[in-house]
Amino acid sequence: MNLPHIVLASRSPRRRELLEMLGVRDLEILPARGEAPFPTELPPGEAAVEVARAKALDVLPLAPAGSLVLASDTVVALEGRVLGKPRDEEEAFAMLSALSGRRHTVYSALVLLSDKGERCGFEATDVFFRPLTEGEIRRYIATGEPMDKAGAYGAQGRASLFIERMEGDFFNVVGLPLCALGKMLGELGYEMI
């Protein structure tokens, strides 16, 4: 592994855990200072890239020289409508009810900035939920798990019980598409393995 110091422009404990799972040890968490406005005029994947780019550019001046800044943004889209993080339990209920028994798409954007260049892009994964009862949704919301997640669920947690299948990268749904990350790092001349 020949990675430089990595600055993760995210508060997400899941992204940090995934990087640590890959063996990244020289990791600094430096979240962006604000949330960039979501460009609703763009398709969801491209919009997520723009939000991630804004995070990376916000953190770049604060990163130590020679670092690689990594930013990501994840959005859930149902029939073209973007579902962000729920503001409250009723919005979480509405989101999960809308996802019940249906296919939706999760987009996770990646932006990498280093002295070797910039790479950006996004992955899309289709997720198929089984039909959910009102009771299941209410009990899930009561766990608190959906409140800080796009689309009001975490595939790596209790909501895994709702997912019939996925088409695409599981880690993309968790919030960091690892296969795409490995490819982008390789394009910049870094090796993960």
User: For the segment 45-96, what is each residue's pLDDT rounded down to a tens digit?
Assistant: 999 999 999 999 999 999 999 999 999 999 999 998 999 899 999 999 999 9
Our measurement of the distance from residue 157's CA atom to the centroid of its chain's CA atoms, rounded to an integer in Å, reads: 15
Contact 189, 116 (CB under 8 A): yes
126 band by pLDDT with thresholds 50, 70 and 90: very high
Q: Name which of 21-25, 133-137, 168-172 the model is least confident about.
A: 21-25
pLDDT at 49: 96
Residue 167 confidence class, pLDDT cut points 50, 70, 90: very high
Which pLDDT does position 44 carry in this prediction? 95
Q: Give the pLDDT score at 193.
A: 81
φ and ψ at 177, to 5 degrees? Answer: -70, 100
Q: What is the pLDDT of residues 148-159, one digit of tens each?
A: 899 999 999 999
Q: How confident is the model at residue 139 (pLDDT cuts 50, 70, 90)?
A: very high
Catalytic residue among 26, 58, 73, 169: 73
Average pLDDT value for the chain: 94
What's the token pair of residue 139?
């009990």
Instruction: Name the pLDDT band for 191 (thresholds 50, 70, 90).
Output: confident
Distance CA 131, CA 161 (A): 11
DSSP single-letter state for residue 3: -
73 catalytic per annotation:
yes
Beta bridge partners of 129: 163
How far is it, in rounded angstroms, from Cα 186 to Cα 140?
39
- Asked if residue 25 lies in contact with residue 6, where contact means CB atoms within 8 angstroms, the answer is no
CATH number of 6-187: 3.90.950.10
